[in-house]
Structure 1
Amino acid sequence: MAKDNKGKDQAALQALSPFELKDELIKAAGGGAVERPANASMLNAGRGNPNFLATIPRHGFWQLGLFAMRESERSFAYMPEGVGGFPKREGLTERFELFLRENKGVPGIAFLAGAVSYVRDQLGLSGTDFLYEMCEGILASNYPVPDRMLKLSEVIVGQYLRREMIGKYPFVGEFDIFAVEGGTAAMTYIFNTMKQNHLIKAGDTIALGRPIFTPYIEIPTLNDYELNVVNLDADVENNWQYSKAELDKLRDPKVKAFFLVNPSNPPSVKISDESLEYIADIVKERPDLILLTDDVYGTFADDFVSLFALAPKNTILVYSYSKYFGATGWRLGTIATHKDNILDKLIAELPKDVKKILHHRYESITTEPDKLKFIDRLVADSRTVALNHTAGLSTPQQVQMVLFSLFSLMDTPDAYKDALKRLIRSRKRALYEEIGIAFDEKDANQVDYYSIIDMEYFGERAYGREFVDWLLKHTEASELLFRLASDARVVLLPGMGFGTKHPSGRVSLANLNESDYRKIGRAIRKLTDEYVERYNKETGKNIQRKEVK
């Protein structure tokens, strides 16, 4: 970086999203423009894509595909040109049982046998109907019908969401699900449909729970929406929980909606039970408040309960299968809303002239456009309304989503979940040991998918406030990240890009091996020691490191 352009370049870098700055850091670390460089010595802990995945439901997917192909080839068998047909319901279950016996011991077969049994015996659904939906779905031989989500698939995914997002919390009523192309598609659809249906409009105020996934910060200010934003800041000194003073900002009637990620990204801490109850109490006072909670990391937490469980009628739940099952490439996500929700009520209460516009918008897809539910408006808007008949997540994606869900539902001792939690927490322990930070395992709200290395918070505790003030005066946060990248070939994302108060680096604990996190920890420790040495030389002092807890 040229010295005379340093200020300009730093300003330009500060304006970049963390996910765009990542590319610059990769270049500084000796990597190429691609995300997965051939340079094996570079340690990219900047992205949350896990290096683990669920194998059993994937084996089940491929074996199911083979069975579905056999079913397809039963039709048009007289044609040698490779033409198949749709599966036949009659005798489907018997043929499937024969397939299982013929392939006994093959990976995925026992899982499929258990899945059909679970669907039939525990969920009370027709085994034949389930098999037919899965076979037709995996063959992708028909449009998604219903377009919002395949019928039995919605029931099974709903059971999974109940287990993982609601747990033992009392929940009254039912909810609808829209299967979408991952959590990012869910965000896009929700923002758009809220705008199209006048639930938010330019100049309105929403609240963001920060730190938060960067696109949530960036989307509201785009010229598509032009929203005012009130920030609710969780603080590292409060174990990344929201204070009551911050949550009380939701009492302002100007705040139309509250968007949050729980557990948080990047601190990776779930909202405490006390804070969830506090938000639910605010909703009782403000029954028009819309809540949007992105709970993708909830499955890594201990005894997770979503805000959707406490305030279901006000909450839009977004969940993605990407991280827990190692399935970012599958693009599997869900949007869930309670069947009796505030969104539909707010739309019904819109002024007549606005309802007339919306009536015209949706009249081509239903004879009763005024009664169209918010979640079905999401489906229509996802295909610009006119293409509603071709809406819906691809059916093979829905099949894999169902198999992931059944894998979790059938894992009653949570063996897979416990294995992943052990894996990422051992990585955090390794990282912290090398940095020299005590590893706290007592906080039940810690999830540890990511970790924030907060320069100001940890620096003050290790070396004192005077050193931190000197460091902030003489360096930029991005400079420290670029030093890590260029000197140690370690890539972290800037925490401030996610809305943290202090300069920091986000470490993903999901995408590298334990030995790599030890190397990252040593690199951070070495860089810190260099700045301490420089501080001592320039100030004539001799500060020593203290234990950091």
Structure 2
Amino acid sequence: MASKAKGNGEKDKEAAGLAALSPFELKDELIKAAGGGAAARPANLSMLNAGRGNPNFLATIPRHGFWQLGLFAMRESERSFAYMPEGVGGFPQRDGIVERFDLFVRENKGQAGIPFLAGAVSYVRDQLGLSAGDFLYEMCEAILACNYPVPDRILKNTEIIVGQYLRREMIGRHPFVGEFDVFAVEGGTAAMTYIFNTMRENFLIEAGDTIALGMPIFTPYIEIPELNDYQLKVVHVNADVKDNWQYSKKELDKLRDPKVKAFFLVNPSNPPSVKIDDESLEHVADIIKERPDLILLTDDVYGTFADNFVSLFALAPKNTILVYSYSKYFGATGWRLGAIATHRDNVLDRLLGELPKEQKQILHKRYESITTEPDKLKFIDRLVADSRTVALNHTAGLSTPQQVQMVLFSLFSLMDTPDAYKNALKRLIRSRKRALFEEMGVSYDEDDPNQVDYYTILDMEYMGEKLYGRDFVDWLMKQLKPNELLFRLAAEARVVLLPGKGFGTPHPSGRVSLANLNESDYRKIGRALRKLTEEYVQRYNEATGKKLDKQKVTK
């Protein structure tokens, strides 16, 4: 008996440890469960990992353009030291670069990427009104990576082009007054890290302060405030699964509390993958009129998959920090490309100007080594300096080849006026969702204009009640141990999902990425989920003597 008790204690301890893991770390344990005993399984039964959201599609045309631009830049470099046979090149030359580019295009006509590259130069000159020569010189020097990023926040023409892309995709046709600054960063995760750190260093958030999080949300937004570095109090603004994952006015009204210094949200949401509806965006904008000191951070990485997306940055630009990543839309998670944008007239700079004298003196000393007027240093430029611990500010900035690819992705989207690429991706992921739900035997609202479908979250309590009634759900909740369904799916069907609870969902659930597998795989996942659900229904029938109506499953 003692041995058995010890074994149970060890199991309980292990379960508690697994429950404490971030969903991205728990994923590794689920993968182990899916691979355990694989040698004994049929060879054609492969693991289906719908956990992490790395897409299995990518944008090819701007990548072809990148390689062609690299070849042109190498030709430019080799002109400078042509007399040296040892493989020494020099910086490209600005004079005559447009004519030499035109010659390069004619000589390589028909090669993949050349028409796009020629069109990009034309677009920059004719539609954006920039100098083609200045653009080509900046791109050649950048792709050769032969100089530091100057300016360090983002290259000059790069900022204009990335800014135009953000205007198109994040603001659209919504009225927007004024200009905004952009900081090129190593993806959305770097953006989060830099923003939290600089807000803390500049006394905009301090230990014990309260922030609000739009829940559910990308897990690091939940975890970072709890770290010893920050020690923040958190108010949850909860989206309701019964209202298609929208925030009610009652939940959003939590932002009226003057104790709440900042509101962080992901829009479209992760993991429900639903954009905030227009009414809710307007409600937040109205709250800002009452609370002009409230800081907003909107992480809009999935906005490009939505129909007619408008960011909170468009409605409350002076209070909002916009975070965007190129990783998902262009299939570029390995490139680490992201951007932070702030309006040039923003609440952050105003709050910095209103800090107490003692704190201003501390910050004056912090930044005095990089500027003669540290008190006037804008928040976004403090982000740049803090990203290199201030003392290394002279070597700050995203690597220049990364900025080139960012520019080419942006131009690819700007030039795609019929949205052919965007519409193709929407069709791709939405057909995968349809396949998944068809095999599960569950209906969903395909006409919801706010559904984005990069992910879908399978809420066991909500769906179980909808399909089988509350009695079944209450029974099931008592039977299930934490993450039991996920580990059973992994071990028995070799299907890996992420736990929704790690993203702040209130009910047992699993996040399914609709971006990283093929349609036939999602059908297999749907069948595995249906089989597991039917097993619990059978167990319920046997335990209660009732018989649930299985016809409900196929509605």
Whether the aligned pair in 2 keeps the contact of 1:467 and 1:535 (CA below 8 Å) is yes
Paired residue type of 2:369: S
- Which residue of 1 is the match for residue 425 of structure 2? 420
- Which residue of 1 is the match for residue 167 of structure 2? 162
Find 1:236's aligned residue among 227, 233, 241.
Answer: 241
Deviation at 1:3, TM superposition (A): 4.6
Q: What stretches of structure 1 of length at least 5 have no aligned partner?
A: 33-37
Alignment of 1:164-183 (within 5 A): 164-183=169-188
- Provide the secondary structure at the position in 1 that maps to 2:274: coil
Distance in 2 separating the partners of 1:323 and 1:512 = 14
Paired residue type of 1:390: T
1:189 aligns with 2:198: no
Deviations 1:284-326 (Å, cap 9, x if unpaired)?
A: 0000000000000000000000000000000000000000000
Alignment of 1:322-401 (within 5 A): 322-401=327-406
Deviations 1:390-430 (Å, cap 9, x if unpaired)?
A: 00000000000000000000000000000000000000000
- Provide the secondary structure at the position in 2 that maps to 1:29: helix
1:469 aligns with 2:482: no
- Which residue of 1 is the match for residue 3 of structure 2? none
Whether the aligned pair in 1 keeps the contact of 2:454 and 2:515 (CA below 8 Å) is yes
Whether the aligned pair in 2 keeps the contact of 1:76 and 1:83 (CA below 8 Å) is yes
- Which residue of 1 is the match for residue 148 of structure 2? 143
Distance in 2 separating the partners of 1:7 and 1:427 = 37
Flag the 1:178–1:433 CA change in 2: closer, same or farther, 3 A.
same
- Which residue of 2 is the match for residue 47 of structure 1? 52
Distance in 1 separating the partners of 2:309 and 2:281 = 11
- Which residue of 2 is the match for residue 296 of structure 1? 301
- Which residue of 2 is the match for residue 443 of structure 1? 448
- Provide the secondary structure at the position in 2 that maps to 1:329: coil
Between the two proteins, the alignment pairs up a number of residues equal to: 544
- Which residue of 2 is the match for residue 204 of structure 1? 209
- Provide the secondary structure at the position in 2 that maps to 1:296: coil
Deviations 1:220-255 (Å, cap 9, x if unpaired)?
A: 010000000000000100100000110000000000
- Provide the secondary structure at the position in 1 that maps to 2:443: coil
Find 1:94's aligned residue among 96, 99, 110.
Answer: 99
Distance in 2 separating the partners of 1:298 and 1:168 = 15
Whether the aligned pair in 2 keeps the contact of 1:31 and 1:42 (CA below 8 Å) is no
Deviation at 1:548, TM superposition (A): 7.2
Deviation at 1:167, TM superposition (A): 0.1
Whether the aligned pair in 1 keeps the contact of 2:300 and 2:323 (CA below 8 Å) is yes
Distance in 1 separating the partners of 2:26 and 2:188 = 22
Find 2:415's aligned residue among 404, 410, 423.
Answer: 410
Whether the aligned pair in 2 keeps the contact of 1:449 and 1:510 (CA below 8 Å) is yes
Flag the 1:162–1:321 CA change in 2: closer, same or farther, 3 A.
same
Find 2:139's aligned residue among 103, 111, 134.
Answer: 134
- Which residue of 2 is the match for residue 495 of structure 1? 500
Distance in 2 separating the partners of 1:8 and 1:525 = 31
Paired residue type of 2:485: L
- Which residue of 2 is the match for residue 542 of structure 1? 547
Question: Mean alpha-carbon deviation: is it higher for 39-48 or for 66-75?
Answer: 39-48
Distance in 2 separating the partners of 1:332 and 1:3 = 47
Deviations 1:172-191 (Å, cap 9, x if unpaired)?
A: 00000000000000000000
Flag the 1:73–1:18 CA change in 2: closer, same or farther, 3 A.
same
Whether the aligned pair in 1 keeps the contact of 2:318 and 2:342 (CA below 8 Å) is yes
1:114 aligns with 2:119: yes
- Which residue of 1 is the match for residue 223 of structure 2? 218
Distance in 2 separating the partners of 1:466 and 1:8 = 30
Distance in 1 separating the partners of 2:73 and 2:222 = 44
Alignment of 1:523-534 (within 5 A): 523-534=528-539
Deviation at 1:541, TM superposition (A): 1.4
Paired residue type of 2:400: T
- Which residue of 1 is the match for residue 312 of structure 2? 307
Deviation at 1:476, TM superposition (A): 2.0
Find 1:520's aligned residue among 512, 525, 541.
Answer: 525
Find 2:254's aligned residue among 249, 257, 261.
Answer: 249
- Provide the secondary structure at the position in 2 that maps to 1:328: coil
Deviations 1:324-348 (Å, cap 9, x if unpaired)?
A: 0000000000000000000000000
Paired residue type of 2:549: Q
Find 2:90's aligned residue among 85, 93, 117.
Answer: 85
Distance in 1 separating the partners of 2:492 and 2:153 = 50
Flag the 1:268–1:84 CA change in 2: closer, same or farther, 3 A.
same
Distance in 2 separating the partners of 1:82 and 1:511 = 42
Paired residue type of 2:438: E
Deviations 1:480-522 (Å, cap 9, x if unpaired)?
A: 1000000000000000100001110000000000000000000
1:15 aligns with 2:20: yes
Q: What stretches of structure 2 of length at least 5 have no aligned partner?
A: 1-5, 38-42
1:56 aligns with 2:54: no
Distance in 2 separating the partners of 1:5 and 1:373 = 53
Deviation at 1:199, TM superposition (A): 0.2
Give me the CA root mean square deviation: 1.3
Distance in 2 separating the partners of 1:23 and 1:469 = 30
What's the TM-score, normalizing by structure 2? 0.97
- Which residue of 1 is the match for residue 286 of structure 2? 281
Flag the 1:41–1:102 CA change in 2: closer, same or farther, 3 A.
same
Find 1:152's aligned residue among 144, 157, 160.
Answer: 157
